[in-house]
Amino acid sequence: MDATNSLEVIDALAEAESVDRLHTICAGVCQEHGFERFIYGARIPTSFVKPYFIFISGYPREWREHYTANNYMVIDPTVQYCAQNITPMAWDDDMLTGGRAEIRRFMSEARDFGINSGVSFPIHTSQGDFAMLSFASGKTGPQSRTCIQRVLPLGQLFTAYLHEAVRRVFDADVVALSKVDLTQREKECLLWATEGKTAWETSQILSIAERTVTFHLQNVQGKLGVNNRQQAVARAVSLGIIEPQFNQ
């Protein structure tokens, strides 16, 4: 994917209107760089307990079913790495088999499905989204390293545009679950609640009545579908409604 081709791919992502089209674009980039498999996954924080998951898979169906049935997401080292980092992770069976027995078993089973090496690209957004794209191959050694080196320079860029496209395509589903409209005053009251301020302290900061602060926070709880202020703060942060302020 050279510079010219990357612009064409970005344009294609911007115009994509279906999951099938996104799948086709991912498969094309995957094959162009010498990989046989790809998988994109995203966790949208509509809830701490039950987040919304999106997958676009070019992995074997049997492997995906086996992966899900064994809850391998909780031990998959690529997922664990990408959940905590923003830089790509190149991996192969030699690198991943030196750890715990469960990871060695996981990689051994992955090899049975032609998954020996690859690279994973993480994405984290201010709204709390976590997404990752992995390209995988049955190749090992110098062959796999060549493929990984070729895709590394533009892989992160592609993943960012892919996630934006996925968000747009799934907009109706995700917005219905996560869109909450708070007034500016409600956001201000909630922001100070995240700092541990009481209703009285917030009223002094905002120069409004204490009962007005309580009224706004009760409205926030209703809109967020929670029962108390602490839950409102947690849910607002998870949905990206409350973000760090940049003014000094």
Mean pLDDT of the chain: 86
Question: Is pLDDT larger for residue 24 or for residue 236?
Answer: 24
pLDDT digits (tens, 9 = 90+) for 177-230: 456 778 889 988 988 998 889 999 999 999 999 999 999 999 988 888 788 888
Q: Strands of the chain (E only): list them.
A: 37-44, 52-57, 89-92, 117-124, 130-137
Which structural domains are found in the chain, ordered by start?
3-175 (3.30.450.80), 181-238 (1.10.10.10)
Could you tell me which residues come within 8 angstroms of residue 248 by beta carbon, excluding any fewer than 6 positions away? Answer: none
Q: Two tokens at 135?
A: 């390209």
Question: Is pLDDT larger for residue 5 or for residue 123?
Answer: 123
Q: Two tokens at 172?
A: 């109706």
Q: Classify burial at 53, counting beta carbons within 10 Å of its beta carbon; exposed 0-12, middle 13-18, buried 19 or more.
A: exposed
* pLDDT value of residue 248: 46
| Gap between the Cα atoms of 98 and 95, Å rounded | 6
C-beta separation of 130 from 122 below 8 A: yes
pTM for the complete prediction?
0.74
pLDDT digits (tens, 9 = 90+) for 23-73: 999 999 999 999 999 999 998 876 656 678 899 999 999 999 999 999 999
C-beta separation of 120 from 84 below 8 A: no
Q: Two tokens at 208?
A: 């409004």
